[in-house]
């Protein structure tokens, strides 16, 4: 812990009298000259994108025999709050794989760590401040989430002297990270390495008023089964030493590559990454490397040589995502991006995101009509925005990254790969990407068990994925249906503008929605959109609107007897019959949303009605010479939260042809099938 100017002055004074102290000063000055200017130097971006509250300089050496990464790390955290902070807290995620009693393994329901050689851990070998003072006695493993004393994924270091506002806490840590042999986001199998969550990483200090903090404190959660991460945007200078035959990919920009020994057996690669929330890397001799350029971004793809036929579709997917998100959310600020399609033996590393490095998922021989690789690539790339740039707390508000990102993934997929074929595009079956989210939500038996506003590890009954990804995407689509596509895009542009490289919370997102919607639409949707979020984000109710009935009653009245009927057809002739036509609508679910209603008459007339959707039932009455033929609630299917579209419409003459056609085809299929399987 050092407060730079004061400390430097003090040490200048001491140097006159004490040679040892002078040595310390020289070390300190060296560190200051090297470290601080490095952080301030603009190697990648002209101006810092983030506050850069933390910095990591790591020298890592991969020992392929022991599967251990030995690291020497110099790091700091700047106390930018007005609090006096007595300790720092760091994540040691790899300790989640240390034994079967960790919170991660307990929540997994089984132990992925089969025996000692399979387990993973991170050991602090030495821990000092810049004065060389040993901080190990001040180390303490804590379990802020569940009090599990066997969990060692959060390390608290009591500082010899509390960090005052503006102080910088420097740490020098030598550590050893043993990678688990069953890859669960991180680990190694055979000669394949995916090295993530591998170094001690600061939690986020949240002063009072930041997000939901009522008083200052570290936000440093344990590693959970159903959770991801929360970190400050940092600068990383990382040297990685690996055997020479290994191909390395990382979230940094490659600055140098040199032989690290005279025999030429090993090489050292130097990477720099700026303003990202995590640094991960991968090493495997079997990677084929491809690069392409999209505007200012150099994109690098690493994948097994057997999947070279998928290079084009992977690049196309990531470029589509770059284009769409740049246009509708904000620019991708980094000039480099690396993504990895792991081999089968590294499949456990697939589908993860580390901002400028992400992993996709595919397999050899995957057919073109199945857009799984594109979906994963676009989803994981999207995380560069939704928690990479907009660094929300994934532990506490998983919907804000996973749900929002799923919403954008589905929009991108259905935009570029077909409105109804984003996921599967086969002549026999087309499935939109957005359909899967809605299906997962509406078909879940536990869809009302909990709201979205829940810590990720607290979602009950296996609802984490359904709630954080699918329900969120579904209500975001519903929101877009209500406020319109352009307003939705403007919401996200504003959200980006206001919160990029900061730590937005759910309430910050809601504030942006309220601000933009009222700016663009006045009070069309009320003074704010809280009524929407109270029901969808914070509520557990279901949305279901229904056309209960409609009927046409012939009236025994002449035109002259009708007084002030506001729906009377003015084109009536004397010979026309008069009808009182009534549409009966019902709100079956608890959620109240404004809905459009389309009434179609047998003479071809159509009437568009708006219903605020608040009352339990609503009737529309028409008097005239026309009879209602059919009625639709939400004819454009904007309210994707509606759990039953079937009861959204009603007609006097239902079209049975599609069912007949389906039955015909089913009959043929079964006939051919039983003929096929008989000898």
Partner 1 sequence: MKLFIALKSAAIRSSKLWKGILIVWFSTLLLVCALAIPMKGALNSGFGRSMITEKLADGINVEVFADLGATLKSLISYFSTGFFLLILTAFLMNTFFSGGLFNSLKGSSGKFSAGEFFRASAKNFWPFLVISLILYIIVLILAILIIAVPVAMVSKADVPSDGAVFKTCIIVVSIFLLLLTILFLVADYARAWQVTKERNACFKAIGFGFSQTFRTFLSSYLLMIILLVVQILYGWLVLSILPGMKPVTGGGVFLLFLLSQFLFFIKILLKAWRYGSVTSLMEQNSEKVL
Contact letters for partner 1, residues 607-636 (x by CB under 8 A): -----------------------x-x----
Which residue from 337, 442, 466, 500 is in contact with partner 1, where contact means CB under 8 A? 442
Smallest distance from partner 1 to CB 204, Å: 38
How far, in Å, CA of 122 to CA of 99, rounded? 12
Cβ atoms of 433 and 408 within 8 Å: the answer is no
Q: Does 522 bind partner 1 (CB under 8 A)?
A: no
Instruction: Tell me how far, at minimum, the Cβ of 342 lies from partner 1, in Å.
Output: 9
Residue choice 80, 161, 345, 502 for contact with partner 1 (CB under 8 A): 345
**DSSP assignment, residue 277?**
S
| Cβ closest to partner 1, residue 245 vs residue 612 | 245
Q: Which stretch binds partner 1 (CB under 8 A): 73-81, 292-300, 326-334, 433-441?
A: 433-441
Residue 115 binds to partner 1 (criterion: CB under 8 A):
no
Site for partner 1 in 283-312 (CB under 8 A): 286, 304, 306-307
Candidate ranges 85-93, 532-540, 616-624, 666-674; the one touching partner 1 (CB under 8 A): 666-674
Write down the least CB distance from residue 648 to partner 1, Å.
7
Q: Which one, 188 or 456, has the nearer CB to partner 1? A: 188
* Shortest Cβ 631–partner 1 spacing (Å): 9
Verify binding: residue 448, partner 1, rule CB under 8 A: no
Beta partners for 194? 187, 282
Q: How far is the CB of 410 from partner 1 (least distance, A)?
A: 13
If binding is defined by CB under 8 A, does position 117 make contact with partner 1?
no
Nearer to partner 1, 92 or 593 (CB): 593
When the beta carbons of 348 and 613 are compared against partner 1, the nearer one is 348
CB of 251 to partner 1, least distance (A): 23
User: Of residues 26, 64, 429, 557, which one binds partner 1 by CB under 8 A?
Assistant: 429
Q: Is 47 in the site for partner 1 (CB under 8 A)?
A: no
Q: What's the Cα-to-Cα distance from 408 to each of 386, 473, 604, rounded to whole Å?
A: 10, 8, 38
Q: Which two tokens stand for residue 521?
A: 């639409």
Pairing mode of beta strands 336-340, 297-304: parallel
Taking a C-beta distance cutoff of 8 angstroms, is the pair 186, 194 a contact? yes
* Closest distance to partner 1 from the beta carbon of 678 (Å): 4
Residues 6+ apart with CB under 8 A from 231: 54, 201, 202, 203, 204, 277, 278, 391
| Residue 662 sits in the site that holds partner 1 (CB under 8 A) | yes
* 638 sits near partner 1 (criterion: CB under 8 A): no
The yes or no reply on residue 679 touching partner 1 (CB under 8 A) is: yes
671 contributes a contact to partner 1 by CB under 8 A: yes
Overall size of the chain counted in residues: 679
650 binds partner 1 per the rule CB under 8 A = yes
Do 540 and 595 form a contact (C-beta atoms < 8 A)? no
Report the candidate in 292, 301, 279, 254 with the shortest Cα–Cα distance to residue 356.
Answer: 279
Report the alpha-carbon distance of residue 381 to residue 373 in Å, rounded.
Answer: 12
Beta strands in 313-418 (DSSP E): 336-340, 357-359
Single residue of 264, 365, 575, 604 touching partner 1 by CB under 8 A: 365
Could you say whether residue 427 binds partner 1 (CB under 8 A)? yes
∠ CA 46-50-51, rounded to 5°: 115
Site for partner 1 in 156-215 (CB under 8 A): 189-190
CA distance 199 to 74: 11
Residue 661: its H or E element = helix 657-677
660 near partner 1 (CB under 8 A): yes
Q: How far apart are CA 379 and CA 436, in angstroms?
A: 14
Is residue 654 involved in binding partner 1 (CB under 8 A)? yes
Per-residue binding letters, 374-413, with partner 1 (x by CB under 8 A):
----------------------------------------
User: Where would I find the H helices in 251-369?
Assistant: 311-328
Contact 301, 314 (CB under 8 A): yes
20 belongs to the binding site for partner 1 (CB under 8 A):
no
Within 10 Å of residue 31's Cβ, how many Cβ atoms? 17
Report, in angstroms and rounded to the nearest whole number, the Rg of the chain calculated over CA atoms: 30
Q: Does 677 bind partner 1 (CB under 8 A)?
A: yes
CB of 63 to partner 1, least distance (A): 19
Of these, 431, 450, 555, 572, which contacts partner 1 (CB under 8 A)?
Answer: 431
- 667 is a site residue for partner 1 (CB under 8 A): yes
With binding defined as CB under 8 A, does residue 651 bind partner 1? yes
Residue 368 touches partner 1, criterion: CB under 8 A:
no
From 370-378, 391-399, 580-588, 644-652, span contacting partner 1 (CB under 8 A)? 644-652
The region of 269-277, 502-510, 612-620, 671-679 touching partner 1 under the rule CB under 8 A is 671-679
Question: Which is closer to partner 1, CB of 14 or CB of 647?
Answer: 647
- Our CB check for partner 1 shows the closer of 367 and 564 to be 367
The 10 Å Cβ neighbour count of residue 530 is: 15
- Interface residue with partner 1 among 18, 126, 364, 615 (CB under 8 A) is 364
Torsion, Cα of 130, 136, 138, 143 (10° steps): 120
Q: How far is the CB of 539 from partner 1 (least distance, A)?
A: 21
Beta strands (DSSP E) in 472-605 are 545-555, 578-587, 595-601
Could you give the CA distance from residue 357 to residue 642 in angstroms, rounded to a whole number? Answer: 37
What DSSP string describes 285-300? TTEEEEEEEETTEEEE
Q: List, in sequence order, every residue forming a beta bridge with 250; answer none if it has no partner.
A: 281
The DSSP symbol for 403 reads I
Residues 524-583 that bind partner 1 (CB under 8 A): none
End-to-end CA distance of the chain: 81
Tokens of 54: 């933390």
Helix (H, G, I), strand (E, B) or coil at 607: strand
Interaction between residue 363 and partner 1 (CB under 8 A) = yes
Triad 201, 203, 205: Cα angle to 5°: 140
List contacts with partner 1 (CB under 8 A): 189-190, 286, 304, 306-307, 343-345, 347, 363-365, 420, 427-431, 435, 438-439, 442-443, 630, 632, 643-652, 654-668, 670-672, 674-679
């Amino acid at each position: 812990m050092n407060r730079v100017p004061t400390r430097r002055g003090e040490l200048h004074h001491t140097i006159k009298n004490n040679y040892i102290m002078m040595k310390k000063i020289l070390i300190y000055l060296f560190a200051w000259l090297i470290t601080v200017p490095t952080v301030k130097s603009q190697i990648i971006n002209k101006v810092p994108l983030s506050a850069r509250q933390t910095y990591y300089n790591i020298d890592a050496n991969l020992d392929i025999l022991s599967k251990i990464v030995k690291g020497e790390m110099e790091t700091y955290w700047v106390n930018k709050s007005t609090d006096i902070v007595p300790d720092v807290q760091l994540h040691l995620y790899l300790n989640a794989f240390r034994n079967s009693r960790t919170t991660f393994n307990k929540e997994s329901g089984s132990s992925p760590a089969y025996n000692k050689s399979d387990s993973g851990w991170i050991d602090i070998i030495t821990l000092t401040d810049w004065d060389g003072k040993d901080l190990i006695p001040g180390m303490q493993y804590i379990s802020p989430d569940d009090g599990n004393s066997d969990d060692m994924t959060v390390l608290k270091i009591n500082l010899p002297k509390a960090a005052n506002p503006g102080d910088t806490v420097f740490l020098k840590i030598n550590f050893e990270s043993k990678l688990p042999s069953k890859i669960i986001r991180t680990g190694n199998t055979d000669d394949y390495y995916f090295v993530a969550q591998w170094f001690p990483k600061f939690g986020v200090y949240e002063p009072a008023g930041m997000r939901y903090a009522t008083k200052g404190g570290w936000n440093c959660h344990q590693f959970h089964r159903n959770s991801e991460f929360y970190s400050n945007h940092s600068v990383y200078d990382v040297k990685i030493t690996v055997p020479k035959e290994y191909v390395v990919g990382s979230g940094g920009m490659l600055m140098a590559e040199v032989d690290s020994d005279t025999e030429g057996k090993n090489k050292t690669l130097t990477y720099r990454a700026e303003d990202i929330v995590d640094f991960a890397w991968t090493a495997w001799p079997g990677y084929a490397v491809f690069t392409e350029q999209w505007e200012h971004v150099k994109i690098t793809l690493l994948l097994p040589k057997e999947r070279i036929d998928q290079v084009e579709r992977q690049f196309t997917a990531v470029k589509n995502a770059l284009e769409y998100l740049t246009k509708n959310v904000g620019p991708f600020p980094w000039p480099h991006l690396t993504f990895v399609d792991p081999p089968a033996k590294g499949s456990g590393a697939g589908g993860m995101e580390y901002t400028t490095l992400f992993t996709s998922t595919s397999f050899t021989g995957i057919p073109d009509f199945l857009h799984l690789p594109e979906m994963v690539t676009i989803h994981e790339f999207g995380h560069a925005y939704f928690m990479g740039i907009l660094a929300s707390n994934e532990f506490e508000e998983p919907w804000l990254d996973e749900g929002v990102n799923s919403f954008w993934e589905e929009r991108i997929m259905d935009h570029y790969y077909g409105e109804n074929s984003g996921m599967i595009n086969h002549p026999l079956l087309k499935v939109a990407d957005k359909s899967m989210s809605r299906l997962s939500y509406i078909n879940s038996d536990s869809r009302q068990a909990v709201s979205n506003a829940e810590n990720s590890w607290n979602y009950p009954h296996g609802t984490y994925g359904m709630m954080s990804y699918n329900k969120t995407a579904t209500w975001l689509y519903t929101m877009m249906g209500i406020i319109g596509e352009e307003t939705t895009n403007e919401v996200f542009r504003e959200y980006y503008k206001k919160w990029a490289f900061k730590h937005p919370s759910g309430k910050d997102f809601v504030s942006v929605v309220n601000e933009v919607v009222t700016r663009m639409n006045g009070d069309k949707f009320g003074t704010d959109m809280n009524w929407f979020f109270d029901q969808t984000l914070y509520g557990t109710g279901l949305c279901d609107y229904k056309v209960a009935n409609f009927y046409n009653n012939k009236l025994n009245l002449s035109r002259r007897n009708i007084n002030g009927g506001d729906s009377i057809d003015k084109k009536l002739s004397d010979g026309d019959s008069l009808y009182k036509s009534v549409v009966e609508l019902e709100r079956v679910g608890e959620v109240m949303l404004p809905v459009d209603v389309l009434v179609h008459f047998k003479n071809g007339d159509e009437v568009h009605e708006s219903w605020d959707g608040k009352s339990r039932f609503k009737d529309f009455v028409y008097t005239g010479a026309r009879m209602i033929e059919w009625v639709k609630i939400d004819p454009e299917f904007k309210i994707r939260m509606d759990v039953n579209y079937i009861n959204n419409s009603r007609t006097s003459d239902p079209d049975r042809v599609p069912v007949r056609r389906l039955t015909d085809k089913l009959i043929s299929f079964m006939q051919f099938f039983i003929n096929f399987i008989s000898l």
